[in-house]
Amino acid sequence: MLRVLNILLACGVVAVAVWLYELKYGVRDSVAEIAQLERAIARAQQDLTVLRAEWSHVARPKRVQDLAQRHLDLEGVRPSQIIEERTIATTIPQREPSEPVYPGDDPIAGLLRIDQ
């Protein structure tokens, strides 16, 4: 009886040793993966900082205004173009509800055909 108990305990000790060995290397792999992810996060944060700096440089109001004046044929708003809110309803024509103007079962395809 004592011999069987000793054999079972020895097997238990070996099993625990194998389990601890696997656990140790699993933790080591997890730590390496976490370190790799932290490095990737740091690189992404640095890239984001650079991109934000570039965006603030590109989106400067003075630069955008200069580009708009150079490449777009825009004019200033004339006072005659400004209307009051209450007059909007009288200037927009009312449309009667009607049947859809697109043919077939697919309304998007019908609209695309109409626009072409």
Write out the DSSP string of 67-98.
HHHHH----PPPGGG---HHHHHHHSPP----
Distance from C-alpha of 9 to C-alpha of 29, rounded to nearest angstrom? 30
- In the block, residue with structure tokens 């955008």: 64
Predicted local distance difference test score (pLDDT) of residue 80: 81
Predicted local distance difference test score (pLDDT) of residue 101: 57
Q: 19 in helix, strand or coil?
A: helix
Distance from C-alpha of 42 to C-alpha of 49, rounded to nearest angstrom? 11
Is this prediction's pTM over 0.85? no
Predicted local distance difference test score (pLDDT) of residue 32: 96
Burial 44-62 (b: 16+ CB within 10 A, else e): eeeeeeeeeeeeeeeeeee
Give the chain's residues under pLDDT 70. Answer: 97-107, 110-116
Predicted local distance difference test score (pLDDT) of residue 16: 94
Predicted local distance difference test score (pLDDT) of residue 102: 57
Predicted local distance difference test score (pLDDT) of residue 36: 96
